[in-house]
Structure 1
Amino acid sequence: MIIRIFGEGQYRVTDSHLEELNELDAVLQKTVDQGDEESFTLALRELLETVRRLGSPLPSDVLAPSELVLPDEDTTLDEVKELLSSEGLIPG
């Protein structure tokens, strides 16, 4: 799957990592629901760092359709709250 991080680029991540990403997404959603800004910042950073670690960056001159789009690290709790669906940022 292709995951885009706003303002950064795209990463190819194998579907076998979806469960790990969903676990991190659940933690992120919990912090948003609680309104805990500090924990939210840490959870978002961990999710993005995991995508970077598990994924292979696509060259900047390649634009492929993204299955998932994640906010960058500067996105606020309120902004992410508006992006969340009932399944979080990562469906599944």
Structure 2
Amino acid sequence: MIVRIMGEGQVRLADSHLTRLNELDDALLAAMDNGDDASFRLTLNALLDAVRELGEPLPDDSLEPSELILPSSDASLEEVRAMLRDDGLIPG
């Protein structure tokens, strides 16, 4: 799966990592539902850090279609809310 982090670039991520990312996505949704900005910020950064650590960066000149687009680490709660699907940022 190709994942784009807005403002950073793309990484190739094995589907086997989706379970961990979904756990973080669920925690992010909970923080958003509770309006807990501090928890939202920590969880968003943990999600993005996991993608960076588990994924393999693609070259900057790569034009692969992204299957998943994640917000930047400085995205606001409202900006992330606008990106949500029925099941959060991460499908599944």
Shorter-chain TM-score bucket reads over 0.9
TM-score, normalising length: structure 2:
0.97
SS at match of 2:4: strand
Q: Which 4+ residue blocks in structure 1 deviate beyond 3 angstroms? A: none
For residue 20 of structure 1, report the CA deviation from its aligned partner.
0.6
Instruction: Tell me how far apart the structure 2 counterparts of residues 82 and 33 of structure 1 sit (CA, whole Å).
Output: 13
Q: Compute the RMSD of aligned alpha carbons.
A: 0.6
For residue 45 of structure 1, report the CA deviation from its aligned partner.
0.1
For residue 77 of structure 1, report the CA deviation from its aligned partner.
0.6
**What are the residue-to-residue correspondences of 1:81-92 with 2, within 5 Å?**
81-92=81-92
In structure 2, give the amino acid aligned to 1:78: E
Identity of matched residues, %: 58
Query: Which residue of the partner structure matches residue 77 of structure 1?
Result: 77
TM-score, normalising length: structure 1:
0.97
Q: Does 1:8 align with 2:8?
A: yes
1:53-82 CA-to-partner distances (Å, cap 9, x unmatched) read: 000000001110011000001100111112
Q: How many residues align?
A: 92
Query: Which residue of the partner structure matches residue 68 of structure 1?
Result: 68
Unpaired runs of 5+ residues, structure 2, are: none
Unpaired runs of 5+ residues, structure 1, are: none
